[in-house]
Amino acid sequence: MTNAALAGRDLISAADLSAQDIAVLFARAGELKAEYRAERRHASPPLERKTLAMLFQKPSLRTRVTFEAGMTQLGGHAIYLEEKIVLGGRETVGDVARNLENFVDAIMARTGPHEVVVELAAKASIPVINGLTIREHPCQSLADLFTLHERFGDLRGATLAFVGDGNNVYHSLALMGATLGMHVRLAHPIGYGPSGRIVERAEELAAASGGSISFTQDAREAVAGCDVVYTDAWTSMGQEAEAEERRDAFARYQVNRALMAASPDAVVMHCLPAHRGEEITSEVMDGPRSVIFDQSENRLHAQKALLVELLGA
């Protein structure tokens, strides 16, 4: 039985999900993961004859493969549409949405501008899932917090220190972490902070849940006493021209053995792809405190839960 509260909805921002929605998704992800790990199949695939259209304006390993393999495992089908076919100027975003809603059961889109996913969702009557925009990456934060939930249980009061860029991955973690009552710290160089609008929303959510949102320029201060250290690439997709400038700006924000010593029990996370030797050393990434490949595995299970709940199966 799925939870009627999620059926038919979109996932555009991490703030779209209430703590209750997230609890439902974690429970469903746990069930699907246990069954899939034990049997490598689902006895009663819940999405038979359902189709997901996947639109990509940017490259992807994890998002593409986990959504596509996830649909197969659930008994359904996914269609990969490259940028030239959709969202590439052949027709309007609204017309793409109005075609796809007649052909498929849900859309997952990775776009540059956030507004494109918002418009797809406004024009299509079927669920639309944000597979990453410049502003947010809610599927990532769902898998990340599911990974932490598996290890720590209730996340209320847990402290996550994000070290690096106040980017899409940080935005969604701050919003979802705040919804769950977490303390989300960000250590970032001046000039590379998050969006003021996202921070305002995350602060509202934290005020309601007992969590908090805080900022510093000092990576050690952020990491001290935290439960989770999180980092992401210093240069996101589409910012390649700034890569050198960013390497200089972020040089003091590498997650390495010395920084991890500030919080000896913390686990370390990264959404991947990683630039080994830049934002994180191989020693930390491959070390005993890394849960990075669990996060990546959980993209599959968390998104399968999302698909089952949104499609109301």
Interface contacts to ligand NVA, rule CB under 6 A: 132, 167-169, 232-233, 236-237, 271
The one catalytic residue in 21, 105, 227, 232 is: 232
CB 130 within 8 A of CB 57: no
Rg of the chain over all Cα atoms, to the nearest angstrom? 19
Piece in contact with ligand CP (CB under 6 A), picked from 145-153, 192-200, 240-248, 271-279 = 271-279
Q: Which is nearer to ligand CP, 133 or 140 (CB)?
A: 140
Q: Which is nearer to ligand NVA, 183 or 299 (CB)?
A: 299
User: Is there binding between residue 60 and ligand CP (CB under 6 A)?
Assistant: yes
Asked if the peptide bond before residue 273 counts as cis, ω within 30 degrees of 0, the response is yes
Cα separations in angstroms, 35 against 119, 298, 299: 36, 14, 16
Angle, vertex CA 142, rays to CA 278 and CA 71, nearest 5: 105
Q: What are phi and psi of 12, to 5 degrees?
A: -105, -45
The one catalytic residue in 135, 271, 295, 301 is: 271
54-81 in b/e burial notation, b at 16+ Cβ within 10 A? Answer: bbbbbebebbbebbbebbebbbbbbeeb
Q: Which is nearer to ligand CP, 61 or 243 (CB)?
A: 61
Which does residue 61 touch among ligand CP, ligand NVA, none (CB within 5 to 8 A, set by kind)?
ligand CP
Q: Which is nearer to ligand CP, 263 or 290 (CB)?
A: 290
User: Is there binding between residue 271 and ligand CP (CB under 6 A)?
Assistant: yes
The minimum distance between CB 149 and ligand NVA, in angstroms, equals: 21
Question: Binding residue for ligand CP (CB under 6 A) from 157, 272, 275, 297?
Answer: 272
For 228, the token pair is 């989770």
Question: Binding residue for ligand CP (CB under 6 A) from 33, 50, 62, 246?
Answer: 62
105 given a catalytic annotation: no
Which does residue 310 touch among ligand NVA, ligand CP, none (CB within 5 to 8 A, set by kind)?
none
The one catalytic residue in 9, 62, 110, 201 is: 110
156 given a catalytic annotation: no
299 given a catalytic annotation: yes
Farthest CA pair distance, the chain: 55
Provide the phi-psi class of 59: left if phi over 0, else alpha when psi is between -120 and 50, else beta: beta
Residue 192, SS3 per DSSP: coil
303 given a catalytic annotation: no
> What element of type H or E holds 304?
helix 292-310
> Active-site residues: which are they?
110, 137, 140, 232, 271, 299
Q: Return residues touching ligand CP (CB under 6 A).
A: 60-63, 132, 140, 271-273
